[in-house]
Amino acid sequence: MGVNSTGTRVDAVCRISQTARMLRISDISYSVEGRPLLVGANAVIPDGHKVGLIGANGAGKTTLFKLIRGELGLDGGEISLPTKAKIGGVAQEVPANEVSLLDTVLAADTERASLMAEETEDPSRIAEIQTRLVDINAWSAEARASTILKGLGFEDAEQRQPCSAFSGGWRMRVALAAVLFAQPDLLLLDEPTNYLDLEGALWLEAYLAKYPNTVIIISHDRGLLNRAVEGILHLEEKCLTFYSGPYDQFARQRAERRAVQAAMAKKQQARKDHMQSFVDRFKATASKAKQAQSRLKMIEKMDMIAAPEEAAKRVFTFPEPEEMAPPIIAIEGGTTGYDETVVLSKLNLRIDQDDRIALLGKNGQGKSTLSKLLSDRLPLMAGKMIRSNKLRIGYFAQHQVDELIVNETPLQHLQTVRPGVMQSKLRATLAGFGLGPDQAETAVGRLSGGQKARLSLLLATIDAPHMLILDEPTNHLDIESREALVEALTAYSGAVILVSHDMHLLSMVADRLWLVSDGTVTPYDDDLESYRKLLLSSDKPSKGKSKVNVAPPKEKKLSRDAVLALRGEVRKSEARVTKLNEMRDKLAKKLADPSLYEDAKLGEMEVWQKKYAEVMGALDRAEALWMQDLEKLEKAGTA
């Protein structure tokens, strides 16, 4: 399977010219301990394309990166790149040495560093060096490196500090800054947002969208895959398939493709069953024996179309807490911090059991401090806090995943917190978090990152908490698992406090935004999209002087007639969406009809597929307009 210059999938040899072709994967195969990961996989990524590499956990995405870099040898096939093409990626954090962050990033451009360090008295060589330094824009290098570091969360003063002054997670950011600064011809990034906060993740999205060379990024971040890439490379069933467009478009195209495949498989199976029935009825009848034999040969020669396998349902099942009188937590004039150091003050906060609150703000501003205060892991230094009696709080943070006992199984973890409970019940509880019989008996050290995260989430929620505090819960979860988490949080009847770099998760779950900035916590009155635009604007405020907590000016209160007119627009938009949904359902039913795929009707099938695509496009636009109208009406009601 290849792709042409517009990203269209083709079965024939790709016709991209050799000069435009950046990366070609030709019929490659690779196995690990006898288990095939890739079998006859093909893809072509044109020069300058931004591509998201997706697939289920364990499908082989990171292995594919290692094959492209030449770190592993292929069992068969070929991966080709243009001569002298530079490949870059982030393999590990930078060392904890005494080199400053800025110098570490500058050193990533090895040609510049070599030219700057060269000593010579030969006038001709000096002229060559100066000319080359101008060609590679060397004199603006420090400003470019500083801009990248700042985008990833390092202020000017911090950029001059040694790498040893920062933790491993922050040194991973320095490694990312270095490879971005080096601008390799092919940039391979494996889940880079896992060690970024929301602000850093949004900056990276914008940077990658403008990156001048080819990018392939492994990610389960739906926002990034919708805004920063122009194609999706899907690794599934040991093969690669390229889809043009962002993730949401891929999801629609794949669903339509699977529906057509299922219908074709059903039609073919019906033909086979019909012929088999004839064979079974007449194989012993002399007058029909030849016909029966003929049909039997046809059955044997049939190249059966495999019906698409249904993906295993990814689930989270949170136990439901009993209802408590509001508020469950109230803080007045609160101050908190560590030892004698105040981190947050002037805290006047209220949390009810039905709240869904997202914490915004740069790393280091106090989001984790607030989470620890709310979860009773940190005391108030001053002020007053009232908690409901018998309040139970569940707390999930990434460090808890790392603190699981690696030589114990998930079942043993549950037996520790639920001694005396029957194994069958504990296994059912594990299954409610997508950990089946095999995972229940597997040592934690051998589980995937996503499976470990599921176990940690289970342990955090096992007591049916009235409030759940989640700090980056989606790290290591694939897209299907993230969607399952959204569904579980939507159904959950307790309060949710959420810290995440996943904009899709925040937008689907949170209905209140708190900004942690300038040593306090204040409501953020605008929406997430406005916050994203503000962070990416050219006048982005610096640390310590954040302006993002300044509420936008209130709009003038609309007249009663204007509000009534808005309500009418909302009703029209809703009716339009309902009508298009009905049309979509009718077309889907039509496309599921096996008779449509008979040879004589292939032209008619293409017409119906085109109509279906048109309706889906119209539905997307109608839903967007409906949401806009609802937002206008909501603002009018609160103005």
Q: What is the secondary structure of 518-554 as a DSSP string?
A: TTEEEE--S-HHHHHHHHHSTTPPPTTS--TTSPPPP
Q: Is residue 548 part of a domain?
A: no
Which of residues 141, 156, 183 is at a domain's end? 183
pLDDT bucket at 303, cuts 50 / 70 / 90: low
Rounded to an integer, the average pLDDT of 115-138 is 83
Which two three-digit tokens encode residue 214?
Answer: 């080819």
339 and 441 part of one domain? yes
Which two three-digit tokens encode residue 475?
Answer: 């790290």
Q: Is residue 547 part of a domain?
A: no
What tens digit of pLDDT does each residue of 226-268 get?
999 999 999 988 999 999 999 999 888 887 777 776 777 777 7
Rounded to an integer, the average pLDDT of 521-529 is 91
Average pLDDT for the chain: 83
Rounded to an integer, the average pLDDT of 424-431 is 93
The answer to whether residue 539 scores a pLDDT higher than 50 is no
The domain of 152 spans 93-183
| pLDDT value of residue 305 | 58
Surface-to-core class of residue 401, CB atoms within 10 Å of its CB (0-12 exposed, 13-18 middle, 19+ buried)? buried
Q: Is 202 helix (H, G, I), strand (E, B) or coil?
A: helix
Q: Is residue 310 part of a domain?
A: no
Q: Is 463 helix (H, G, I), strand (E, B) or coil?
A: coil
Percent of the chain with pLDDT over 70: 85
Lowest average pLDDT, out of 305-314, 336-345, 414-423, 602-611, goes to: 305-314
Give the strand order in the sheet containing 214-218: 87-89, 186-190, 214-218, 50-54, 231-236, 239-244
Q: Is residue 146 part of a domain?
A: yes
231 and 271 part of one domain? no
Which two three-digit tokens encode residue 195?
Answer: 């060690």
Query: Phi and psi (nearest 5°) for 144?
Result: -65, -45
| pLDDT value of residue 126 | 82
| pLDDT value of residue 292 | 72
Assign residue 516 the CATH number of its domain. 3.40.50.300
112 and 172 part of one domain? yes
Query: Phi and psi (nearest 5°) for 225?
Result: -70, -15
Q: Is residue 529 part of a domain?
A: yes
| pLDDT value of residue 40 | 94
| pLDDT value of residue 19 | 40
The answer to whether residue 367 scores a pLDDT higher than 80 is yes
Lowest average pLDDT, out of 40-54, 165-179, 599-613, goes to: 599-613
Q: Is residue 308 part of a domain?
A: no
The answer to whether residue 138 scores a pLDDT higher than 60 is yes
| pLDDT value of residue 522 | 95
pLDDT bucket at 554, cuts 50 / 70 / 90: very low
| pLDDT value of residue 538 | 45
Which has the higher per-residue pLDDT, 135 or 101? 101
Q: Can you point out the beta strands (E) in 128-269?
A: 186-190, 214-218, 231-236, 239-244
The answer to whether residue 273 scores a pLDDT higher than 50 is yes
The answer to whether residue 179 scores a pLDDT higher than 90 is yes
The answer to whether residue 600 scores a pLDDT higher than 50 is yes
Q: Is residue 618 part of a domain?
A: yes
Decide: 360 and 486 in contact? Cβ < 8 Å: no
> How many folded domains does the chain comprise?
5
Which has the higher per-residue pLDDT, 12 or 144? 144
| Geometric angle at alpha carbon 211, from 210 and 215, rounded to 5° | 125
Best CA proximity match to 218, nearest among 253, 244, 194, 183: 194
Q: Are strands 495-499 and 21-32 parallel, antiparallel or unpaired?
A: unpaired
| pLDDT value of residue 597 | 57
509 and 375 part of one domain? yes
Which has the higher per-residue pLDDT, 174 or 134? 174
454 and 530 part of one domain? yes
Decide: 268 and 305 in contact? Cβ < 8 Å: yes
Q: Can you point out the beta strands (E) in 447-494?
A: 467-471
594 and 487 part of one domain? no
Q: Is residue 552 part of a domain?
A: no
82 and 210 part of one domain? yes
Type of residue at 167: S
140 and 199 part of one domain? no
454 and 405 part of one domain? yes
What tens digit of pLDDT does each residue of 71-113 get?
999 999 999 988 888 999 987 778 888 999 999 999 998 888 8
Which has the higher per-residue pLDDT, 403 or 352? 352
190 and 177 part of one domain? no
Cis-peptide, bond into residue 246, ω within 30° of zero? no
Which has the higher per-residue pLDDT, 214 or 122? 214
| pLDDT value of residue 561 | 63
381 and 270 part of one domain? no
Which has the higher per-residue pLDDT, 328 or 593? 328
Give me the residues paired with residue 514 across strands: 359, 523
The answer to whether residue 639 scores a pLDDT higher than 80 is no
Rounded to an integer, the average pLDDT of 41-51 is 92
401 and 343 part of one domain? yes
| pLDDT value of residue 552 | 37
Rounded to an integer, the average pLDDT of 265-291 is 74
Q: Is 159 helix (H, G, I), strand (E, B) or coil?
A: helix
| pLDDT value of residue 403 | 85
| pLDDT value of residue 287 | 65
Q: Is 54 helix (H, G, I), strand (E, B) or coil?
A: strand
What tens digit of pLDDT does each residue of 325-339 get?
999 999 999 999 998
In the chain, DSSP finds a helix count (H) and a strand count (E) of 22, 20
Surface-to-core class of residue 497, CB atoms within 10 Å of its CB (0-12 exposed, 13-18 middle, 19+ buried)? buried
